[in-house]
Amino acid sequence: MSYIAALNKRLNILYGGKVFAAEENGCLFIKGELSQWQEIVHAGLISVNRKKYIGLVNEIRLSGVEIPPMKLPEFADNTLEGKSPEVLVIGGGIIGCSIARELKRYKIDVMIAEKEHDVAMHASGRNDGMVHPGVDLRKGQLKKKYNDIGNRMFSTVCTELGVPFRYVGQYLCFMKDWIRPLIAVTPLYWKAMNVPAEYVSRRNLNKREPNLSSRISCAVFFPTAGVVCPYGLTIAYAENAASNGAILCLDTAVLDMEVENGKILSVLTNRGRVYPKLVINAAGVFSEDIARMAHDHFFSIHPRRGTNIIFDKKAAYQVRTIVSSLGTIDKKAGHTKGGGIVSTIDGNLLVGPDAIETYERENFETRPDSINNITVKQRHTSPKLDNRDIITYFTGVRAATYEEDFIITFGKFTANLIHAAGIQSPGVTAAPAIAADIAKMAANYLGAAENEQFDPIRIPIPQPSGMPQEQRDALIRQDENFGVIVCRCEEVSRGEIQEAMRRTVSCDTVDGVKRRVRAGMGRCQGGFCGPLVAQIIACEKNIPLEKVRKNNYDSNIVFGDNKEVI
């Protein structure tokens, strides 16, 4: 029996004839209608066959539910009409921004289209900032290939871009005593997988991470795990790309494409029609939509929501590295995969994430059950985690394919297209490697020469609170604004906030400032500094306070003068 026939038989039994599979142009399509999203995802996961098909496209409809379409910028203009960049990168996440920067190593005109008002607004700004050693990756996966290379590139990239980064290492902890002899030999497995690993007895673990649960029987230490600020790195990539000449178009959404004979002729945005020679699809959860527009639809994204919790720096003593545990809860109890406790590069504890399948690609709402599940689970590892130390939480949505692997390839049916799609964890780690590879592919395609003028160095925004006293003093004497503390919790000065708005990537929102210099990231969550930051933005951008926004459109903070607005 052929794979399709066998699969159809299985789908028939599982879903009572409501779902069927069919091959189209070497891709496996599954179609039909089901009433539960979980079932649709499950049907996709059991249908995947990487050996036989280019990819799996899941077109099963969710009955009675209109999947929310991509949210679009609320305005349209013609500023981009007729522009013809050599490369149009769709998506201003870490993948799009790193690709744009690497493309500038060649003599290539680059335009980035990002539909949000800032870069790193989706998954790149909503993850745990972990640079993965590659513990759970397998040979043959693109994830594995790019994670391994990316991990080794991180120090160099972060040094060039002026982004704080540290290899802190990760402990993978095990709870059961009987498993110890087995775990003691696993470093050999990881060695074969090219992942440096070291067995750590309970006693040694207790010395190195003294606040973990006494129930932990042993651990494996992975020294190549690191921490970085993922949106900070994305912004740095975007700034460096822009200072090397890439054109970053924010508030710019791709609406449609004109495709003829396997070639994209033009790309329609809300700001006009653009005529690129080559399109790079780095659109995250929307990469499937872009593939469809480009007549190159051979994969599907099943979005997976994850919530992370940020704890006060006061709680940071509990974990100095990255710690995660296996075997803490009953597998049947739900999502056991992933999640851990990360001592972030900024000195907080980050706890999470969870993993929940969802069809809402842009619903970043947080839910109490997520917080509860995460804290209950992670308390098995670090029993001192106290919910009273929670200062905030956030949700991101991962762009997973059914193959659960990255898609890094030229279009299968469309020639002038490169996909950097299906990038979920470990996307941050892999980004430098993916970007370098894709830039090379693009340069070959376009026959572009090297750009001798490329400057890989980005000067970061000064951070006086982290400077030696003399250096900080000298900086303040140059510009007194660096001596006026605006955000008391994170000790951020007015000078830093002003500088955040004077960079090559525009920033004019309270959240934009927050993500660049951490004003409002502390325990008072902007209670004191929020109005001050808003005033600095109004002053710097010469707009009235009521025009200052939190992040996107309509996120105004005040309505206008007292009495006059009612």
Partner 1 sequence: MKVPHFDVTVIGSGPAGLAASLSAANEGAFVLLIEREARLGGILKQCIHDGFGLIRFGEKLSGPEYAQRFIEQLPKTSITIETLTFVTKINRQADGFMITLVSKDGIREIITESFVLACGCRERTSRQIGVHGRHCSGIFTAGTAQYYTNVLGKMPTKRCVILGSGDIGLIMARRLTLEGAQVVGVYEAKPTASGLMRNIYQCLEDFDIPLYTSKTVTRVFGEGRLSAVEVSDVDEYMIPIPGTEKIIECDALILSVGLIPENELAESIGLPMDNRTKGPVTDQNSMSMVDGVFCCGNALHVNDLVDYVSESGEAAGRSAARYLPKKRTFAEIQTDDSFLYVVPQMLSITELKAPVTFYFRSKAERVKTRLTVTADGREIYKKAYSQLRPPEMERVEIDFKDMRITTDSHICFALAEVD
- Residue 372 CB burial class (10 angstroms; 0-12, 13-18, ≥19): exposed
Beta carbon of residue 473, minimum distance to partner 1 (angstroms, whole number): 4
* Distance in Å, CB of 391 to partner 1, minimum: 6
Helix (H) or strand (E) holding 441: helix 427-446
Q: Which of 549, 445, 506, 439 shows the shortest CA–CA distance to 103?
A: 439
**Residue 73, Cα to own-chain centre: how many angstroms?**
21
Told to check if 531 binds partner 1 by CB under 8 A, we report yes
Query: What residues contact 121, with CB distance under 8 A and at least 6 apart?
Result: 92, 93, 114, 551
Q: Considering beta carbons, is residue 40 or 250 the nearer one to partner 1?
A: 250
**Distance of closest approach, residue 353 Cβ to partner 1, in angstroms:** 15
Strands 110-113 and 301-311: unpaired
In the complex, minimum distance from the CB of residue 393 to partner 1, in angstroms, rounded to a whole number:
6
Q: How far is the CB of 566 from partner 1 (least distance, A)?
A: 3
Helix or strand or coil: residue 131?
Answer: strand
8 A C-beta contact, residue 353 and residue 396: yes
Q: Is 335 a catalytic site residue?
A: no
Largest CA distance in the chain: 79
Tokens of 73: 């910028």
Q: Which of 149, 390, 460, 540 binds partner 1 (CB under 8 A)?
A: 390
- Out of 3, 167, 359, 364, point to the residue binding partner 1 (CB under 8 A): 364
Q: CB under 8 A: which stretch of 171-179, 329-337, 421-429, 485-493 binds partner 1?
A: 485-493
Query: Which are the contacts of 435, defined by CB distance < 8 A and separation ≥ 6?
Result: 95, 98, 99, 101, 102, 237
The answer to the question of residue 358 lying near partner 1 (CB under 8 A) is no
From edge to edge, which strands make up the β-sheet containing 272-274?
254-260, 263-269, 272-274
Q: Which of 66, 260, 452, 554 binds partner 1 (CB under 8 A)?
A: 554
Which member of 210, 488, 502, 539 binds partner 1 (CB under 8 A)? 488
555 binds partner 1 (CB under 8 A): yes
Restricted to residues 303-332, the positions that interact with partner 1 (CB under 8 A) are 314
Residue corresponding to tokens 């604004």: 481
- The backbone torsions φ and ψ at residue 438, rounded to the nearest 5 degrees and listed phi first, read -70, -35
Q: Which two tokens stand for residue 392?
A: 């905030």
Given 10, 42, 523, 547, the residue binding partner 1 (CB under 8 A): 523
For residues 284 and 464, which CB has a smaller minimum distance to partner 1 in the complex? 464
CA 255 to chain centre: 23
Site for partner 1 in 392-421 (CB under 8 A): 392-394
For the window 252-291, what string marks contact with partner 1 as x by the rule CB under 8 A?
Answer: ----------------------------------------
DSSP assignments along 318-365, one per residue = G-SSEEEEESSS-GGGS--SS-EEEE-TTS-EEEE---EE-S-TT---
Q: Token pair 């089901």 is at which residue?
A: 34
Closer CB to partner 1, 155 or 211, in the complex: 211
Which is catalytic among the residues 117, 122, 132, 380?
A: 132
The answer to whether the CB of 252 falls within 8 A of the CB of 276 is no
Query: Among 105, 515, 518, 549, which residue interacts with partner 1 (rule: CB under 8 A)?
Result: 549
Interface characters, 173-212, with partner 1 (x: CB under 8 A): ----------------------------------------
For residues 164 and 158, give the distance between their C-alpha atoms in angstroms, rounded to a whole number.
Answer: 7
Structural tokens at position 252: 């710019």
Identify the CA nearest to 246 among candidates 408, 442, 419: 442
Cβ distance to partner 1 smaller for residue 206 or 481: 481
Task: Among 188, 527, 539, 543, indicate the residue that binds partner 1 (CB under 8 A).
Answer: 527
Give the whole-angstrom CA distance, residue 352 versus residue 375: 8
State which residue, 192 or 566, has the beta carbon closest to partner 1: 566
Binding status of residue 551 toward partner 1 by CB under 8 A? yes
In whole angstroms, what is the distance from residue 175 CA to residue 218 CA? 7
Judged by CB under 8 A, the stretch of 138-146, 359-367, 373-381, 422-430 that binds partner 1 is: 359-367
Nearest to partner 1 of 180, 550 (CB atom)? 550
Q: Which is nearer to partner 1, 327 or 531 (CB)?
A: 531
Which residue from 530, 537, 539, 541 is in contact with partner 1, where contact means CB under 8 A?
Answer: 530
70/558 with CB nearer partner 1:
558
Under the binding rule (CB under 8 A), the answer on residue 540 touching partner 1 is no
Q: Is the dihedral of CA 425, 428, 433, 437 positive or negative?
A: positive
Stretch that binds partner 1, among 45-53, 141-149, 429-437, 521-529 (CB under 8 A): 521-529
Contact, 80 vs 114, CB < 8 A? no
Q: Which stretch binds partner 1 (CB under 8 A): 45-53, 323-331, 343-351, 551-559?
A: 551-559
- Asked whether the beta carbons of 508 and 541 are under 8 A apart, the reply is yes
Pick the closer one to partner 1 by CB: 172 or 557: 557
Paired with 249 in beta bridges are 113
Among residues 49, 179, 485, 540, which is the contact residue for partner 1, using CB under 8 A? 485
The token duo for 535 is: 């005033």
- Give me the residues that bind partner 1 (CB under 8 A), please: 71, 314, 364-368, 371, 388, 390-394, 464-465, 469, 472-473, 476-477, 480-481, 483-485, 488-489, 491, 523-528, 530-531, 535, 545-546, 549-566
Hey, which residues are catalytic here?
132
